[in-house]
Amino acid sequence: MLGRVPFARRTLFAERRRAALAVAGVAVALLLVFILDGIFAGAIQQVTAYIRTSRADAIVSQQSVRTMHMSSSALPPSDVERVRGVAQVAWVAPIRYATGIVVTPTDRQLAYVIGYQPGRRGGPRSLVEGREPRDGEAVIDRVAARGLDVPLGGRVQILGRPFRVAGFSSGTTSITNTIAFITYRDFGRLRGSAVSYVLVGGRPGTSPRALRDTLAAALPDSTVQTRDEFVVREASIVRDMSADTMQIMTFVALVIALAVIALLLFTTTLAHLRDYGIVKAIGGSPAQLARSVLVQALWAVALALGFAVVLALGVAGLINRFSDNIAIVIEPSSVARVAVGASVVAVIGALLPVWRIARLDPAAAFRSAL
């Protein structure tokens, strides 16, 4: 920007079609980043849905085991009574857990299998149809059931044993897997008597951290985390597993954005090279002209970012509405991250035009053509 006259903006948008196409190009590249980020955030929400909605204040697991995803935890059954004996504990819900597959004669779906005590905590967050399972029965997610074409009362195999579907739960199927609930007793019969995790609720007035510390002192051979800590660890392991892919995809999208911004700025600079020469001749310093190119870059990115956010929210809304197992979550942190990345891209994209302008001879304004 040169003083108050919006030279940078006017020059950038002097050729509206070119500017609009370039802004659209950058917006599409940023949209790609948002959607990737959104799918990832949605997947994390889905993967952590069970623990997040469990209402447990603290979770006890085998020593050094801090997640369910890609983990196996085994606690001695006596630990459940030790937890119950802690003064601040209001309720205890032991669960058994394994990664398995829900199989039908025609299809199969990767699943976390959770054994819980029906009528107590640790089961599905909500039943949308049917009832809690009895021995020999299972509750599976409605979306998974639809995908597997299993009706209520239908039969599936879980952990190698047949189960009758007694109910449908919701909100626990992601793009990669689902959760199947069976009884605590059935699970014990299939996989042994060990307890995987103990969900613990504190008495009113007890903070999750205080409960965690008390439990940790009472069970020194176990790991105790608050629910929030558990969710963060769970999200982190999912993120770590997908980080490389995400980073590569984000990098590619930002490179595309960089190419479009650089092309826009360079073509705009070349088209207005004479104008820059004139401004230099009448007293514009190289720093002022460099600033005007940077302002152009930031304008392009700001507009593209705005469009990309609106488009991403629209796409996320549509996908969330019409897709059962893909959730797209556009988080403010994602917008902030992309904004920073895009700003860096804008600055890099401005370097070549700035260099070209720096070399421009102000005397060129006295020549008929540049």
Partner 1 sequence: MSTEFALAVSKLTKTFGTGDLAVAAVRSVDLDVAAGEVVLIMGPSGSGKTTLLLMLGGMLRPTAGSITVAGTDLAVTPERRLPQLRAQHFGFVFQDFNLLSALDALENVELASNLAGVHGAPAHRRGTELLERMGLVHRLHHRPDQLSGGEKQRVAMARALANDPPVILADEPTANLDSGMGREVARVLRSLADDDQRAVVIVSHDARLRDIADRVLWLEDGTFRELDAMAHDPICGMAVETTLDHPHLERDGTLWYFCSTGCRDEYDARPVAESTAPAPG
Interface residues with partner 1 (CB under 8 A) are: 2-5, 7, 10-11, 13-14, 272, 274-275, 278-286, 288, 361-363, 365-366, 368
Other Cβ atoms less than 10 A from the Cβ of 221: the count is: 9
Alpha-carbon distance of 365 to 352, in angstroms, equals: 21
For 29, residues 6+ apart whose C-beta sits below 8 A from its C-beta are: 253, 254, 256, 257, 260, 304
Q: Could you tell me the smallest distance in angstroms from the CB atom of residue 299 to partner 1?
A: 13
Nearer to partner 1, 196 or 296 (CB): 296
Nearer to partner 1, 13 or 197 (CB): 13
Nearer to partner 1, 4 or 321 (CB): 4
Nearer to partner 1, 213 or 275 (CB): 275
Alpha-carbon distance of 134 to 118, in angstroms, equals: 7
Q: Could you tell me the smallest distance in angstroms from the CB atom of residue 319 to partner 1?
A: 41
Nearer to partner 1, 275 or 331 (CB): 275
DSSP sequence for 144-182: HHHHHT--TT-EEEETTEEEEEEEEE-S---SS-EEEEE
Burial label, 63 (beta-carbon count in 10 A; 0-12, 13-18, 19+): exposed
Q: Check if the beta carbon of residue 137 is closer than 8 Å to that of residue 9.
A: no
Other Cβ atoms less than 10 A from the Cβ of 65: the count is: 18
DSSP sequence for 57-103: SEEEEETT---STT----B-THHHHHHHTSTTEEEEEEEEEEEEEEE
Q: Could you tell me the smallest distance in angstroms from the CB atom of residue 278 to partner 1?
A: 5
Nearer to partner 1, 6 or 188 (CB): 6
